[in-house]
Amino acid sequence: MKSVVIIGGGIVGLSTAYYLHKEGFEVTVIDKGDITSGASFVNAGYITPSHIIPLASPGMIAKGIKMMFNAASPFYMKPRLDTDFLKWSWYFHKSSTPAKVEKAIPAIKEINLMSRELFTDIKNSGDLGNFQLERKGLLMLYKTEAAYLHEKQVAERVAFEGLEVSDLNKSDLHKLEPHVNIDAEGAIHYECDGHTTPTEIMPKLLAYLKGEGVVIKTNEEVVDIKSSGDRIIEVITNKDNYQPDEVVLAAGSWSANLAKKLHLKLPLQGGKGYCINRERNTGISIPAILMESKIAVTPMNEFTRFAGTMEFSGNNDIIRKERVMAIVNGVHSFYPEIEIDVAEIENVKTGLRPVSPDGLPYIGKSIKIKNLTIGTGHAMMGWSLGPATGKLISELLTGNKTFMSIAAFSPNRVF
């Protein structure tokens, strides 16, 4: 039986453990925290085949520069003299071309659709018991014609790709969401999308893995990775040493620093997001993105989550009050009757999404280190793509044919 150490206990790490265990591997997951917080817990819970356009798209750098000096803006890049950040920014700029976006679309669509199917398979298996998994779609709510016309272009491409999408006016919107007052001119409805409650699934997945004999090491940090020739021979933590046959690097935003220990370049930046949960009834029944405010809204199991912002300010968990209030104000702008109180604001949570320069994940085996497989860099699609990434990594390690071509996701790609 082959032994595998998975570094990182987020949705990608645990999904990988799930599929590798099914294939008969001896699996150990190591996480520097207690697997109760971070991006896998504070995300919007979306399953989004509609998100076919990568973050690195034409115009994003210009937007970033424009918003750079406004710490309350939805997309914020903190100016700093950091070599890794400056290199990443240059690679991001080089990746933001129509040709590269066009090339990325089919791969993003395919892996999203597969992941949506795998979420359903996991639920139907009964392994995790019951959990929220709904297919009500995603509403892109807009106030201005400019926002509508921008999203209309995306919607046309989504429809061209064979995914379900419709155009809603104010009246249509009211029929779909009769129990909440929405101040919007209309919406694009991506009917192909689904949603979940991450804080429900993550503990259930963790409990299932523990019950199946998967070793979970929490509050244990990998401090070094030793290699000899083209193989990892030892993973060293602050508590123990491991000599696995295979290593999976799925440490989210911290993956780049760990890759450096093997003299590997893995351009990656942590994109901080925030979320506010409201446990009082909101009347919202369908997930939405408030376009002008760039806020995600999700009716989760027993609460509504308001999530947003993409903040590049380094790997830290500092909460910036102005960014939290931007979410509060954005929500009130679209849902004028929904108030977020002081206690809810003070209970804000944050997490770091690992963002590659081209907005595509890193999924694949290292060409330099033969027993290293990488799964990170999913940006805003980490939750959506967790199961598919885990399945792909299990196929790579078993030597089976992957369910799709993963050339676009190669961790060895050059920017």
Q: Residue 68 — pLDDT band, cuts 50, 70, 90? A: low
Q: What is the mean pLDDT of residues 183-205?
A: 98
Find the helix packing angle between 83-95 and 60-67, rounded to 10°.
140
How confident is the model at residue 180, as a pLDDT? Answer: 97
Find the helix packing angle between 382-398 and 11-22, rounded to 10°.
30
Instruction: Return the exposure string of 204-232: e unless at least 16 CB atoms fall within 10 Å of the residue's CB, then b.
Output: ebbebbeeeebebbeebebeebebeeeeb
Q: What is the mean pLDDT of residues 154-171?
A: 96
Q: What is the pLDDT of residues 47-66, one digit of tens each?
A: 999 999 888 777 766 666 66
How confident is the model at residue 80, as a pLDDT? Answer: 78
Amino acid at 343: A
Instruction: Kindly tell me the burial class for residue 182, based on how many C-beta atoms sit within 10 Å of its own C-beta (0-12, 13-18, 19 or more).
Output: buried
How confident is the model at residue 51, as a pLDDT? Answer: 94
Predicted TM-score (pTM) above 0.85: yes
How confident is the model at residue 54, as a pLDDT? Answer: 86
Three-state SS at 246: strand
d(CA 326, CA 194): 26
Q: What is the mean pLDDT of residues 369-384?
A: 97
Nearest C-alpha neighbor of 109 from the set 405, 364, 356, 410: 405
CB 345, CB 275: distance < 8 Å: no
Q: What is the pLDDT of residues 257-298, one digit of tens each?
A: 999 999 999 999 999 999 999 999 999 999 999 999 999 999
How confident is the model at residue 66, as a pLDDT? Answer: 62
How confident is the model at residue 357, as a pLDDT? Answer: 94
Q: What is the mean pLDDT of residues 156-172?
A: 96
Which 8-state DSSP code applies to residue 319?
Answer: P
How confident is the model at residue 318, as a pLDDT? Answer: 84
Q: What is the pLDDT of residues 26-51, one digit of tens each?
A: 999 999 999 999 999 999 999 999 99
Q: For the chain, give me the number of helices (H) and strands (E)?
A: 12, 21
Instruction: Kindly tell me the burial class for residue 31, based on how many C-beta atoms sit within 10 Å of its own C-beta (0-12, 13-18, 19 or more).
Output: buried
| Alpha carbon 361 to its chain's center | 10
Q: What is the pLDDT of residues 201-258, one digit of tens each?
A: 999 999 999 999 999 999 999 999 999 999 999 999 999 999 999 999 999 999 999 9
Q: What is the CATH number of domain 3-409?
A: 3.50.50.60
Where helices occur in 137-188 by DSSP H, the ranges are 145-160, 170-176
In the chain, where the domains are located: 3-409
Q: What percent of the chain has pLDDT over 90?
A: 86
Instruction: Tell me the pLDDT of the chain averaged across its residues.
Output: 94
d(CA 279, CA 372): 42
Amino acid at 284: I
Q: Which residue has the tokens 């071309």?
A: 97
Q: What is the mean pLDDT of residues 291-307?
A: 96
Which 8-state DSSP code applies to residue 227?
Answer: E
d(CA 163, CA 350): 32
CA angle 254, 256, 257 (to 5 degrees): 70
Q: What is the mean pLDDT of residues 135-159?
A: 96
Q: Residue 71 — pLDDT band, cuts 50, 70, 90? A: low
